[in-house]
């Protein structure tokens, strides 16, 4: 018999990510910087799915910017791409005696993006903007040692591609 004295847990999360890379050849240098910001909320149901396992969902948003620049003796060009839109948040938790673990997966499709290109091959130069849809995004955060009874704020590092990120989650009993 499992006795539950609460409705469940509610929480918010924030994911910050940055990546910077530089590639040089004999005639050109490519510099790339990327930043992502993801935030949202979720709810964990107290009704166990299995032995000490809870599940829930929520919503969130993503804002991602990638800035690239290329320089060579003939031309210099730069571009900035952005991705934004709503996310679906899937939350799965394992509860022990107060402490446990939590896995959050934020994902979305049909997101909107925009790419701005600039090029300087003449005195006048050139620029262009391209808007697009059907972008996608996914990130998974795994946190261990959460005190579900007391709640609190927890952080964990997340590695993706060549960059590094931080996932911060705050939970509290409903």
Output the pTM of the full model: 0.84
Structure tokens at 148: 């579900």
Residue 73: which pLDDT band, with cuts at 50, 70 and 90? low
Pair type for strands 126-147 and 76-95: unpaired
Task: Give the count of beta carbons closer than 10 Å to the beta carbon of residue 91.
Answer: 24
Residue 104 sits at the vertex; the CA angle it makes with 100 and 137, to the nearest 5 degrees, is 165
Asked whether the predicted pLDDT for residue 4 surpasses 60, the reply is: no
Buried b (16+ CB within 10 A) or exposed e, 48-73: eeeeeebbbebebebebebbbbbbee
Contacts of 6 (CB under 8 A, 6+ apart): 46, 173, 174
Residue 2: which pLDDT band, with cuts at 50, 70 and 90? low
In the prediction, which pLDDT does 15 show? 95
Contacts of 19 (CB under 8 A, 6+ apart): 32, 33, 34, 35, 160, 161, 162, 163, 164
Asked whether the predicted pLDDT for residue 8 surpasses 90, the reply is: no
- pLDDT tens digit string along 79-92? 999 999 999 999 99
């Amino acid at each position: 018999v499992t006795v539950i004295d609460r409705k469940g847990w509610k929480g918010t999360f924030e994911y910050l990510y940055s990546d910077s890379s530089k590639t040089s050849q004999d005639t050109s240098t490519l510099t790339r910087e990327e930043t992502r910001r993801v935030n949202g909320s979720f709810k964990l149901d107290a009704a166990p799915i299995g032995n000490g396992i809870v599940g829930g969902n929520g919503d969130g948003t993503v804002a991602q910017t990638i800035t690239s620049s290329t320089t060579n003796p003939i031309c210099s060009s730069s571009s900035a791409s952005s991705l934004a839109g709503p996310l679906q948040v899937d939350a799965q938790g394992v509860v022990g005696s107060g402490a446990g673990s939590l896995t959050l997966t934020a994902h979305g499709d049909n997101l909107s993006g925009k790419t701005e290109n600039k090029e300087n091959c003449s005195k006048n130069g050139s620029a262009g903007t391209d808007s697009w849809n059907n972008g996608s995004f996914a990130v998974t955060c795994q946190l261990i040692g959460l005190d579900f009874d007391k709640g609190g704020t927890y952080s964990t590092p997340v590695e993706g591609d060549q960059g590094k990120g931080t996932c911060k989650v705050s939970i509290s009993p409903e």
